[in-house]
Amino acid sequence: MTHVVVIGAGQAGSSLVAKLRNSGFEGKVTLIGAEAVPPYQRPPLSKAYLLGDMTLDRLFLRPESFYGEHGIDLRLNTRVTGIDRAARHVHLGDEVIAYDHLVLTTGSEPRRLPASIGGALGGVFVVRDLADVDAMAPHVVAGHRALIVGGGYIGLEAAAVAAKRGLQVTLVEMADRILQRVAAPETSDYFRALHQSHGVTIREGVGLDRLLGDGQVTGARLSDGTELAVDLVIVGVGISPATELAEAAGLEIENGIKVDAQGRTSDPAIWAAGDCASFPWRGGRIRLESVPNAIDQAECVAENIMGAAMAYIAKPWFWSDQYDVKLQIAGLNAGYDRTVVRAGDKPGSQSVWYFRGHDLLAVDAMNDPRAYMIGKRLIEAGQSPSPAAVADPETPLKSLMPA
């Protein structure tokens, strides 16, 4: 009987095993997760869950009973110690599991501050899994002083939650502006003003020199010499693909586990999907860190394991929730040379449209779901409206769609 073993019980892993069963796969399925709880949603962890608006059971992607009812052997609190490609074995310490197809959905890991600058002090947190947020929660107390290191979406979301909980929040970003790596200056300006209106102090062009404290963080020295008193630090300086197992097994790595268009690694019996996988994209390779990609790519791999021989065609989209603003992003803005800002129908809503020449690449929509949906449909259809038409407030959004 064919045995599919999946390492990594996150969004991609859970989606993959569910797709196998829903598509009629009758072989053995084993899903291995390092955490002690069933697969769960990660985006609400640092928002609704930390705020107390979502309980643990509501985080679960599927009820725990789903896995047993569908003949999926869910192995929780289990560490994979190695992969023997020649024998097609996965090692769990002294235990060995044979596989016919192995899928790596190992996700990504947060970058941490070096211990040499205080990264190992108590009160210093990253935001990636349930244990991180559960450890952080007792420190997120009104009146406490929080330092957020990193002005990307992870850092900004953490700042928003801390501010809503009544903490005094300072965010430092080493680059010239927040969101510099991922968004246009206009989007940065929008979110800077939003956070400042909620009392967050944003320091751009300033890095962290070191954290201060004896066992527990009590302060921070910034690169300009400023010293701050702090009660907790939240680090949001990006994530890296979790490739350690794949590297040890000798698989090809290229900004993640290198896969072909169908999701196969350099070993035809091993596949990868989600945050950990880099795949072909428009003549190059990309790796997407998003829930939609994790689901879609994992489901494509599941179908290919069953013989579909289907290329994965990514349709990149992302979102971020900060205060009462929902940011929705369609497409990838890499290589843009022009932006157009368009005001939305409601106060405070707007969209930023990214063009390369006359080609529409991406749209950032802040509380503007209509701009997001129309931009997404245009991008996926490979069609580009005139930048002048987008910029003209008299042009109805709907008219940007071709007849």
Give 326-339 pLDDT, tens digit per residue: 999 999 999 999 99
In a domain, 315, yes or no: no
Q: What is d(CA 400, CA 392) in angstroms, rounded to the nearest whole number?
A: 11
Give 23-72 pLDDT, tens digit per residue: 999 999 999 999 999 999 999 988 889 888 899 999 999 999 999 999 99
The residue among 235, 251, 277 that closes a domain is: 235
In a domain, 215, yes or no: yes
> What average pLDDT does range 263-286 have in this prediction?
97
In a domain, 135, yes or no: yes
Using pLDDT thresholds of 50, 70 and 90, give the confidence band for residue 292.
very high
Q: Are residues 260 and 225 in the same domain?
A: no
Q: Are residues 117 and 225 in the same domain?
A: yes
Q: Are residues 194 and 251 in the same domain?
A: no
The residue among 249, 276, 305 that closes a domain is: 305
Burial label for 196, CB within 10 Å (0-12, 13-18, 19+), is exposed
Q: Are residues 187 and 280 in the same domain?
A: no
Give 172-197 pLDDT, tens digit per residue: 999 999 999 999 999 999 999 999 99
Q: Are residues 149 and 226 in the same domain?
A: yes
Asked whether the whole model's pTM tops 0.85, one would answer: yes
User: What total of structural domains would you count in the chain?
Assistant: 3
In percent, how much of the chain has pLDDT > 90?
95
Q: Are residues 210 and 264 in the same domain?
A: no
Q: Are residues 298 and 366 in the same domain?
A: no
Q: Are residues 52 and 146 in the same domain?
A: no
| Residue range of the domain that includes 101 | 3-109+239-305
Q: Are residues 329 and 269 in the same domain?
A: no
Give 136-152 pLDDT, tens digit per residue: 999 999 999 999 999 99
CATH number at residue 369: 3.30.390.30
> What average pLDDT does range 269-293 have in this prediction?
96
In a domain, 313, yes or no: no
In a domain, 229, yes or no: yes
Residue at 116: amino acid letter: S
Number of other residues whose CB lies within 10 A of the CB of residue 286? 17
Three-class SS string for 155-215? HHHHHHHHHHCCCEEEEEECCCCCCCCCCCHHHHHHHHHHHHHCCCEEEECCCEEEEEECC
In a domain, 31, yes or no: yes
Using pLDDT thresholds of 50, 70 and 90, give the confidence band for residue 403.
low
CATH number at residue 193: 3.50.50.60
Burial label for 208, CB within 10 Å (0-12, 13-18, 19+), is buried
Whether the predicted pLDDT of 163 surpasses 90: yes
Q: Which two tokens stand for residue 230?
A: 């702090």
Q: Are residues 121 and 194 in the same domain?
A: yes
Q: What mean pLDDT is reported for the chain?
A: 96
Q: What radius of gyration, in Å, describes the C-alpha atoms of the chain? A: 22
Q: Are residues 202 and 105 in the same domain?
A: no
In a domain, 317, yes or no: no
> What average pLDDT does range 193-215 have in this prediction?
98
Whether the predicted pLDDT of 81 surpasses 80: yes
H or E element at residue 277: strand 277-281
Give 379-399 pLDDT, tens digit per residue: 999 999 999 999 999 999 999
Write down the pLDDT at residue 402: 76
Write down the pLDDT at residue 229: 98
Q: Are residues 151 and 208 in the same domain?
A: yes
In a domain, 311, yes or no: no
